[in-house]
Structure formats: structure tokens, C-alpha cells
Copies of this chain bind each other. A is one copy, B any other.
Amino acid sequence: MVTTEAETVLRGSPYRADCPTRHILDRIGDRWTVLIVGALWDGSARFSELRRRVEGVSQKMLTQTLRGLERDGLVRRTVHPEVPVRVEYALTEAGRTLREPLRALQEWSIAHLGDVSAAQEAYDHANRPPLDSTDRDE
């Protein structure tokens, strides 16, 4: 694989379906992946623990996402053959490196949340006059 420079790729390939970016987008695309990586930020956790940490995730999605991450080599799954089966999940080396860009993204979101919210309100106000009291606010 020819590793062209990041800049080049940004302007050329990524818009083509064969670009690596697409694959990663598929991964971080689903909301759960990022949240789960975040939940494993500081160490390992058991299945139930993750389920508690990542609020709103269903057992199905948690399993599914963890498997995906495991398949990608970002998460390591360790089964402890004890009486009540105990499974621990932790980020691999590769997974840990993913925290950096993810953190950048999160910091951005924290820093710009206000602007975004304001922009949304302004947009809605300017574009969507009173219909009813059906305003979707968050």
C-alpha cells in the first residue's frame, strides 16, 4: 500500500470508496464504538461493567461493538474460566493509540458545543418560524 502523504489523501482518495478513511469511519461511525473506547480509557472492564458505564447501550450492541473492536485488534478480550464466567475487556496497544485522536475530537466538541448550539438555535429561528409548540429542543 502506497502511503501517500496525509494531505494528498485528504484531497484525493478519501472521497473514493477505496480509501482507508472509509473503513475507519465505518468503525467510529457508530456511536457506541467511541463511547466504549472511552469506557475502557483507563483500564479493563467486565461486560456488565461496560454495560453500566456506557449508558443506553443494549446488550446486543455492546457485544456487537466489542466484537468489532476485537476483530480490529483494538480491544483484547480475556476470559477467566472461573466459576461464574468472567470476561475482561481492555484496549490493546493499537486501541490505546486511538485514544489520542478521539480525545482531540472530544475536546473539540466540548469547546464548540456552545457555538454549535447557538448556531442551531439561530438556524432554526431563522428558517423554521413557529409551526406549533412542536419545537425540537434538546
Contact = CB atoms under 8 A, between A and B. Distances in A.
A31 B38 contact: no
B31 A26 contact: yes
Interface string A2-45: 01001001110011110011111110111100110011011000
Question: Chain A: interface residue count, which band?
Answer: 35 or more
Interface of A: 1, 3, 6, 9-11, 14-17, 20-26, 28-31, 34-35, 38-39, 41-42, 53-56, 70-74, 94, 97-98, 100-110, 112-116, 118-120, 122-124, 138
A110 B56 contact: no
* Of listed A14, A30, A124, A138, residue having the most chain B CB within 10 A: A14
* Of listed A15, A41, A54, A119, residue having the most chain B CB within 10 A: A15
9 contacts: A1-B113, A15-B53, A23-B138, A24-B105, A28-B28, A29-B31, A71-B119, A71-B124, A73-B118
